[in-house]
A and B are shown apart, each in its own frame.
Chain A
């Protein structure tokens, strides 16, 4: 590797959102022909940093240099200067064709008109360079995640991007697809592109990157060459404390009392017959690569999706499936993945949010009794440990406290089974521990049980008493005691 000047660098970047310091004096640079990886926990500032680098977010302070020249970036100029971001939530126009998506904004013209033949031919060529077998004339709608990623990367090549920013590209890929992506990245590097690479998978990062920058709480912990780094070392740099301290102790005794039994649950096409049981006081994890049915299982139990076959028993009693309000009454409480979109009424107070599902029980002749709403809400909010003004709109609370409001709702509803989809998504590190403690406390002291899914292996292994592995809609095994992340990942794909 030749030592070249950075093509993209940022010095002393600062950015605050409300009360959160997302970036607190970060400096970062990437050189042509190299991969610079960014690692850190959720909320460490990685996403903000790459959004600043690709012009989607303006920093409060800090200087950006592209090719050595100071620049102010917005999303147009960033692309013009050859910086292309491949979003985690892929940003493609579903109704348009692959070729149109690759070239939109700079379509090849002939006599003023779009030259479709050339556009498709060039798109085919770019995709071939990436080893992607995708028909450039088809609509993007219906393409797999991996294929969409290739389309986005092809778009980066089409605009001659010197810097490609990949945000968690392998999160939704199978190992073979990921291998293919790495080959593509190595190729791009050989051609002189620079790549900024974000991932949670540390072994993958060490293998792929030339340099690694570790972010924590909006600051750079260290930037060092990837060579010679060990996964454990990197992990402790990221976390800044030992893994054991991140999570509360697991349950001390098995109660042996089965609380929830799920048998032969089917919800085509993703869930293909799943059976498991959870004991009182137990936290059960469900792990699978994205799209293998774990989310749908939770949705079915929560009443948000209707299973087409299967039985449920709660404390030995048969439960008839019904929609969300009915399942909630029967003891199934749900904390959905998308807190802002599905979980909470952001304009309502924490109290109202906590008491909301119980309005029916609390109301008489259609009128909600203000006092009882307040009382139920207050109790629950207190139990869940929500900090901040609980009478103001939930939107004013921090992510961690918002999430605790979601738990307060389960407390208020007296849910026996807590269905938790990514319970600490978008939550800062400190609040994570509080939420884990809360889950434990509710299970231990009140005999509840929790079923948790999360793409974060460390979270499942750290929090759950047992972790079941699901692949293509079927359970394929249970993680052995003391399993490592790699083992779990291996199990999730081994049956292929």
Chain B
């Protein structure tokens, strides 16, 4: 991105890192609206919102882990496990207890991840392992989608004013969660310390940041987001699905990266994550409306993510090269005053530069 574009974006009060996600949303809206008459229908819009809800929830949690310099591959398995636990126990224990049990199960995964990583285990391996444990346990409990929750619970995933409604019940909840995430990120010691640890773990420790607590917090936040997503999915399908969350691991990472959170850690943006979740949701939606086979959607997401990561750095590289060339021309044309003559014997006048 050139400096001019960046300044223009800043002038609008928008962090430039959200630009790729925002651009993708705009492109998809234009394509969708022009190619399909149904795209702007209230039915389709609320459909997109419902579909994007679990992804956004999980991505908001994933964002904290990525900001801490790690990544949480366990989220997909955790969400599945939570839906299964709730759906299997709701009949006998009643919904409130089942939800509480789901919450505890999910947080347990987060605590295990957080402790392991804070004690120095590799985040990739740790969360890959806990993913398979959570996934395996979910399948042990429930081999195929099933279980049962009260029908009324389904309202959580429905619309205000019943089935014909337009505004999803989950919308205000999701907005509150996003606002909460922003609050934690920017206004609590935990959020600041997560960013500090992600920026430079060693320096953060020397500055007196309790790095282990911050890392534990990041993984627990991620697990908590998984619990919320699990509850939502259970309500939507009125049952548990032992593999229902498996796409969420990669998709949530895609959203976080596309949203502009630095994979290296230290920087995170809630706004970017929200917009990117919308972008990924719209991508599926538009491809559905245009009747692409569903197998195209996964590679399309992959391409989008790679572009999102590569384009900004390519733009930076290109700008740096241009600047370098301009400076070189400037320096060469200035023909610097030769304060120090070369030692005797240095050859004659060779004008044009030949290197580089």
Contact = CB atoms under 8 A, between A and B. Distances in A.
Interface in A285-336: 306-313, 316, 318, 320-321
A266 interface: yes
Given A94-B199, A114-B189, A268-B323, A276 B204 contact: no
B343 A311 contact: no
Given A95-B195, A113-B183, A256-B344, A312 B355 contact: yes
A92 B203 contact: yes
Interface of A: 56, 75-76, 79, 91-96, 100-101, 104-107, 109, 112-114, 116, 155, 256-258, 261, 263-266, 268-269, 272-279, 306-313, 316, 318, 320-321, 468, 473-478
Contacts of A113: 183, 187-188
Contact of B343 (A56, A266, A278): A278
A306 B356 contact: yes
13 contacts: A75-B205, A93-B207, A258-B343, A264-B332, A265-B355, A266-B353, A266-B356, A272-B336, A316-B347, A318-B354, A320-B355, A321-B355, A474-B337
B5 interface: no
Interface string B173-198: 00000000001001111001101101
A79 B328 contact: no
B12 interface: no
Contact of B355 (A79, A256, A309): A309
A116 B187 contact: yes
Nearest to A473: B331
B186 A309 contact: no
A278 B345 CA distance: 10
Given A96-B196, A100-B192, A266-B328, A477 B339 contact: yes
Contact of B334 (A100, A155, A273): A273
Contacts of B267: 95
B345 A257 contact: yes
B325 interface: yes
B196 to A, nearest CB: 5
A276 B345 CA distance: 11
The interface residues of chain B, by DSSP majority, are classed as loop
Contacts of B206: 56, 75, 91
Contacts of B200: 93-94
B340 interface: yes
B188 A93 contact: no
Contacts of B328: 266, 268, 308-309
B346 interface: yes
B325 A277 contact: no
A107 B356 contact: no
B266 interface: yes
Closest 7 pairs (CB-CB, A-B): A309-B353, A95-B266, A105-B208, A268-B327, A277-B342, A95-B199, A273-B336
Given A95-B266, A263-B350, A321-B356, A279 B195 contact: no
Residue from A79, A268, A275, A311 with most neighbouring chain B CB atoms (10 Å) = A268
Contacts of B353: 264, 266, 308-311
B356 A308 contact: yes
Nearest to A261: B346
B294 interface: no
A260 to B, nearest CB: 10
A245 to B, nearest CB: 29
Contacts of A155: 207
B209 interface: yes
B74 interface: no
A311 B350 contact: yes
A270 to B, nearest CB: 10
Contacts of A101: 207
Contacts of A308: 324-325, 327-328, 353, 355-356
B355 A310 contact: yes
Contacts of B204: 93, 104
B152 interface: no
Interface in B301-333: 323-325, 327-328, 331-332
A473 B353 CA distance: 17
A287 B345 CA distance: 23
A269 B320 CA distance: 11
Nearest to B200: A93
Nearest to A90: B203
B195 A477 contact: no
A478 B338 CA distance: 12
A94 B208 CA distance: 16
B262 interface: yes
A274 to B, nearest CB: 8
A193 B327 CA distance: 46
Nearest to A155: B207
Contacts of A310: 353-356
B318 to A, nearest CB: 15
A308 B328 CA distance: 7
A474 B339 contact: yes
A106 B196 CA distance: 13
Contacts of B199: 93-96
Contact of A279 (B193, B332, B335, B343): B343
A309 B340 CA distance: 19
B355 A272 contact: no
A311 B350 CA distance: 9
A107 B334 CA distance: 50
Nearest to B320: A268
Contacts of A321: 355-356
A312 B356 CA distance: 12
Given A91-B206, A100-B196, A256-B345, 18 more contacts: A93-B204, A93-B266, A96-B196, A104-B208, A106-B208, A256-B344, A261-B347, A266-B356, A273-B334, A276-B340, A277-B342, A310-B354, A310-B356, A318-B354, A474-B336, A475-B339, A477-B339, A478-B340
Given A93-B199, A96-B266, A264-B353, A276 B342 contact: yes
A258 B347 CA distance: 10
B332 A114 contact: no
A298 to B, nearest CB: 15
Contacts of B189: 107, 109, 114
Contacts of B355: 265, 307-312, 320-321
Nearest to A269: B327
